[in-house]
Structure 1
Amino acid sequence: MTRPRNDNFLRALLKEPTDHTPLWLMRQAGRYLPEYCETRKRAGSFLNLCKNPGLACEVTLQPLARYNLDAAILFSDILTVPDAMGLGLYFAEGEGPKFERPLREEWAIRDLAVPDPYTHLKYVMDGVSEIRRALNNSVPLIGFSGSPYTLSCYMVEGGSSDDYRNVKTMIYDRPDLMHHILSVTADSVTSYLNAQIESGAQAVMIFDSWGGGLSAAAYQEFSLQYMQRIVDGLIKEKDGQRIPSIVFTKGGGLWLESIAAIGCDAVGLDWTIDIGEARRRVGDKVALQGNLDPNVLFASPEKIAVEAKKVLDSYGPGDTGHVFNLGHGISQFTPPDHVTALVETVHSYSKELRAKAV
């Protein structure tokens, strides 16, 4: 299998030279795009959109039709995995995701089992295959999952939470039960990501959205070790091509060295850490992805350009090892033309920097 015609994203993750700094955006197919809102309306609900491979393909491709992005990311939701584990995912209007059967009783936790991704999550695999065909080898496709700890937060709380008190109570009162949830979930995520790779994903990312809310010791024990287990179990090569992995812990800047040591190819950064400092701390062990504050995109296109250049300047010299991204998902209130300003700035300025270095 040949690499995509634009393979800068894969090259950057593997620390190979690139002709510009590649760029994609977390949540790049989303509510800030009017075309996405139209498709979601046709689907009838967010869950219907996720579970319809044709519509998931449609919205995955929408930002690529509008912007000169260097990668596509599968349109799905991290909570498809616990849904496949039988917890009963639903979306309450104005309240976000919820589970009908949160994990509170010991018997329910002990009964938790790894779902077959080709049966219970077949719609995701069908979506991955359809997107790969539609991309026609133009740019790489990223598959993804939530981290075991982040998924467990939703599974135990039954939805979003301000303080995750049920999860943290279980961590300290019944660590045995928490480890059981995390162990089954880690195996589920490994199986799920490998199925995405077999179906056509060319890189995979683990989103640890809530790991940064743990203490340093708890992060190592209840989040990082399970992400390492997943990375260890991932398919590393398919059809002669390396399949890179990215790990992103929001709020994880304190533990960069530990994250970089688990065997992933790249570490995602939120906007609270200087990317140049992060580069100095991890050396050439991993590539870095990030890390513009998503709220910069509310500013004028001129200011967006200034801030994007700051990130590129901070990363420093060289023609590889950096994938430009936001420090978290793009806001639904972002003006679409402001993304154009960002993409154009990153591509043009990173080429300028490379030319100066020659």
Structure 2
Amino acid sequence: MTTFNDTLLRAARGEKIEHTPVWYMRQAGRSQPEYMKIKEKYSLEEITHQPELCAYVTKLPVDQYNVDAAVLYKDIVTPLSGLGIDVKIKSGVGPVISNPIRTVQDVHNLGELSPQDDIPFVLETIKLLTTEQLNVPLIGFAGAPFTLASYMIEGGPSKSYNLTKSFMVSESETWFALMDKLADMTITYITAQVNAGAQVIQIFDSWVGALNVADYRIFIKPVMTRIFTELRKLNVPLITFGVGASHLANEWHDLPVDVVGLDWRLSIKEAGERGLTKPLQGNLDPSMLLADWSIIEERAKTIIEQGVEHGSHIFNLGHGVFPDVKPATLKKLTELIHSYSAQLRK
């Protein structure tokens, strides 16, 4: 049996590590030829509903890139159907919801997630991976309430979040009722993932960067504090992450989380200068993966150096892998991160 690689767990807890650990958001799927073949036959939803196939897709990048963690292959809207939300993932569009939230009654009508009944396939996939297949930690995840609410109110992806933000301030009582519903769901969902075997948790507040700091503090921070306070009881490392949200980095640092994830807009060095002392995750611009190797190497080395200087650091991209990225590039990048950081950490 291969020795279990706990480097990422130690980095997340701020413990001593021999090299900087790395995983890539959306590393499962997207650009692998094996995955493309599967996608010719099955949709994302169909893959996630077949535990053995989903486990294969989740494990593929661990085998191919030698990353220090697997991340469960699924979408952040997966649990919403358990609340009675009619959500479909449309190719090239994303999650589309046919019964968007418009009134306080819509919120009251939402059900409660029962993981064993509503998402047994997710739990079965986790059990398969953690008991039989992986020698690295499995990262489970959920979408944060603002990001999920944006889909539920807009009816699908948005570039402006106009409906969501206006709803938030104009219908604040309904907004907070929705936040409470989604917080309860998130806590239930993540608890089920950890009980099934997930060893690290990331909460994706992907689109919360659309808010300013003042609104974040009023409308979002209380619910995130409640979620993370409850999840701390599970005794697994907790990561928070969003896109275009550098102005919120200090707010995240205040939350009861272990790791603050950064996109490429805020460097590891600048985050430290702002007073972020917790372990950081990030943050190569994923677009750089299409550049010449010399540029990728230069950018990655800078991030690795800043991470080593900071202390505890998990290398990642500032957002997800996209389909044009060559798997060979990610494999080479992983080798660089491991070898260069090991030199620096001697």
TM class by smaller structure: over 0.9
Give a deviation string over 1:163-208, Cα, whole Å, max 9, x none. 1222112112111111111110011001100110000000100000
Partner of 1:276: 269
Mapped partners of 1:51, 1:226: distance in 2: 30
8 A contact 1:202–1:243 mirrored in 2 = yes
Structure 2: how far apart are the matches of 1:156 and 1:331?
26
**1:306 correspondence with 2:305:** no
Aligned length: 345
Aligned to 1:5: 4
Where does residue 255 of structure 1 map in the other structure? 248
- Structure 1: how far apart are the matches of 2:91 and 2:265? 31
Q: What is the deviation of 1:253?
A: 1.6
Report if aligned partners of 1:12, 1:18 keep a CA contact under 8 Å in 2: yes
Q: Which residue of 2 aligns with 1:30?
A: 29
Does residue 1:124 correspond to 2:122, yes or no? yes
SS at match of 2:176: helix
Question: Matched residues in 1 for 2:305 and 2:213: separation?
Answer: 30
Secondary structure of the structure 2 residue equivalent to 1:234: helix
Partner residue in 1 for 2:178: 181
Indicate how the Cα distance of structure 1 residues 20 and 117 shifts in structure 2: closer, same or farther if over 3 A, else same: same
Q: Which amino acid aligns with 1:189?
A: T
What CA distance in whole angstroms lies between the structure 2 residues aligned with 1:121 and 1:208? Answer: 21
- Superposed displacement of residue 85, structure 1: 1.1
Question: TM-score under structure 1 normalisation?
Answer: 0.92
Are 2:61 and 1:63 aligned? yes
2:38 corresponding residue in structure 1:
39
Question: Secondary structure in 2 aligned to 1:289?
Answer: strand
| 8 Å Cα contact 1:74-1:143 kept in structure 2 | yes
Contact between 1:32 and 1:332, CA under 8 Å: does it hold in 2?
yes
Q: CA deviation at 1:82?
A: 1.6
Identity, in percent, stands at 37
Give 2:288's aligned residue. Answer: 296
* Residue in structure 2 matching 1:287, options 260, 263, 279: 279
Which secondary structure state, in structure 1, belongs to the residue aligned with residue 202 of structure 2? strand
Structure 1 position 229 matched with structure 2 position 226: yes
Given the superposition, is the C-alpha separation of residues 235 and 197 from structure 1 closer, same or farther in structure 2, using an over 3 Å criterion? farther
Q: Give the direction of change, closer, same or farther, for the CA distance of 1:235–1:126 in structure 2 (3 Å limit).
A: farther
1:150 is the counterpart of 2:150: no
Select the residue among 338, 342, 345 that pairs with 2:333.
342
Instruction: Describe the SS at the equivalent of 1:167.
Output: helix
Post-superposition shift, 1:280? 3.2
Report which stretch shifted further, 205-214 or 110-119. Answer: 110-119
TM-fit CA distance, 1:283: 4.5
Aligned residue for 2:236?
A: 243
Q: Distance in 1 between matches of 2:302 and 2:69?
A: 22
Tell me which amino acid in the other structure corresponds to 1:109: V
Distance in structure 2 (CA, Å) of the matches to 1:263 and 1:162: 29
Deviations 1:322-351 (A, max 9, x none): 000001111111111111221111111101
How much does 1:276 deviate?
A: 1.0
Residue 216 of structure 1 and its aligned partner are, at CA, apart by: 1.4
RMSD: 1.7
1-side partners of 2:258 and 2:288: how far apart? Answer: 27
C-alpha change, 1:100 and 1:56, in structure 2 (3 Å) is: same
The residue aligned with 1:52 is: 50
Give the direction of change, closer, same or farther, for the CA distance of 1:217–1:113 in structure 2 (3 Å limit). Answer: farther
Inter-partner Cα distance in structure 2 for 1:92 and 1:139: 32
Kindly indicate whether the alpha-carbon contact (under 8 Å) linking 1:197 and 1:235 is maintained by their aligned counterparts in 2. Answer: no
Q: Please list every run of 5 or more consecutive structure 2 residues that lacks an aligned counterpart in the other structure.
A: none
In the TM superposition, what whole-angstrom CA distance separates every residue of 1:47-74 from its partner, at most 9, and x where no partner exists? 1112221111010011111111000011
Is the contact between residue 50 and residue 121 of structure 2 (CA under 8 Å) also seen in structure 1? yes
